[in-house]
């Protein structure tokens, strides 16, 4: 893929063997081989081979995705790296599993909806992620894997999957619960502290707020419209 960018816009192009058309005009296919190109309307762009993050922005979205600010928090709080194995439920549009597959050794993704699973697989294929195993199965019924480093539950009732998640985790591993609402957090932590206190320990719950700023010479202020709350992240550890 090819990234075409200037200060006004960014495009990711799948095919460089044909002219590229946009609202700024078109770039001839022969010019797509260069580092700089000008559209027929005189707009100049820089061109380069698309890095992962630009291709990631082209993913299809069906279900509400886990945002990059929350993905970054999950990575930092659990210490994920090149040797890590992560299990998630559910796949959704594949935003989390595809991002983690770019830095981790192996991802196992459980999903109970065929339409969501199809989109997640399509996104993984588009990004060239071959280290993701997709499963049409319910983690509330069974998790076959053992000794995984991190389990991420993005589901309405994560407390019903705590027992299976605990069995799947290695000692010292992290369980991360992604909850849009506080009642979900309350029920999850209550279940950990009552029914699973011998094997799971609640570490922390918080939300990550990202506030973008507008920088235009001396006009510097937060944007008036931006995404504020997405979800609460609850971190639990296998003990």
The answer to whether 213 and 223 have CB atoms below 8 angstroms apart is yes
Do 36 and 127 belong to one domain? no
pLDDT at 73: 98
pLDDT at 62: 80
pLDDT band at 72 (very low <50, low <70, confident <90, very high): very high
3-state secondary structure 140-202: CCCCCCCCEEEEEECCCCHHHHHHHHHHHEEEEEEEEEEECCHHHHHHHHHHHHHHCCCCEEE
pLDDT band at 111 (very low <50, low <70, confident <90, very high): very high
Do 172 and 192 belong to one domain? yes
Alpha helix (H) ranges present in the chain? 52-56, 68-78, 95-101, 114-127, 162-168, 182-195
Do 97 and 25 belong to one domain? no
Structure tokens at 178: 């992604």
Q: Mind listing the pLDDT tens digit for each residue in 123-173?
A: 999 999 999 999 999 999 999 999 999 999 999 999 999 999 999 999 999
pLDDT at 134: 98
Do 125 and 173 belong to one domain? yes
Domain endpoint, select from 39, 55, 71: 55
Mean pLDDT computed over 62-79: 93
Domains: count for the chain: 2
Sheet holding 44-49, edge to edge: 10-13, 2-5, 44-49, 36-38
Domain of 40 in residue numbering reads as 2-55
CA dihedral for 153, 155, 157, 160, sign (positive or negative): negative
Checking if the pLDDT of 63 tops 90, the result is no
Checking if the pLDDT of 217 tops 90, the result is yes
Q: Mind listing the pLDDT tens digit for each residue in 128-142?
A: 999 999 999 999 999
């Amino acid at each position: 893929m090819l990234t075409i960018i200037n200060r006004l816009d960014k495009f990711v192009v799948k095919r460089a063997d044909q002219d590229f058309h946009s609202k700024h005009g078109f770039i001839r296919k022969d010019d797509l081989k260069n580092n700089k190109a000008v559209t027929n309307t005189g707009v100049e762009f820089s061109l380069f081979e698309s890095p992962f993050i630009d291709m990631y922005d082209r993913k299809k979205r069906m279900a509400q995705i886990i945002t990059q600010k929350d993905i970054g928090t999950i990575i930092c709080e659990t210490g994920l790296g090149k040797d890590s194995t992560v299990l998630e439920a559910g796949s959704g549009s594949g935003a989390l599993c595809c991002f983690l597959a770019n830095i981790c050794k192996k991802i196992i993704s459980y999903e109970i909806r065929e339409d969501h699973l199809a989109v997640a697989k399509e996104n993984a294929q588009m990004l060239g992620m071959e280290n993701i195993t997709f499963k049409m199965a319910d983690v509330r019924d069974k998790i076959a894997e053992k000794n995984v480093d991190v389990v991420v539950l993005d589901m309405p009732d994560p407390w019903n999957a705590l027992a299976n998640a605990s069995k799947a985790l290695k000692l010292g591993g992290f369980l991360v619960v992604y909850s849009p609402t506080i009642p979900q957090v309350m029920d999850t932590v209550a279940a950990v502290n009552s029914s699973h206190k011998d094997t799971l320990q609640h570490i922390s719950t918080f939300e990550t707020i990202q506030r973008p700023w507008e920088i235009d010479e001396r006009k510097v202020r937060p944007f008036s419209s931006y995404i504020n709350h997405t979800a609460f992240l609850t971190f639990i550890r296998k003990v």
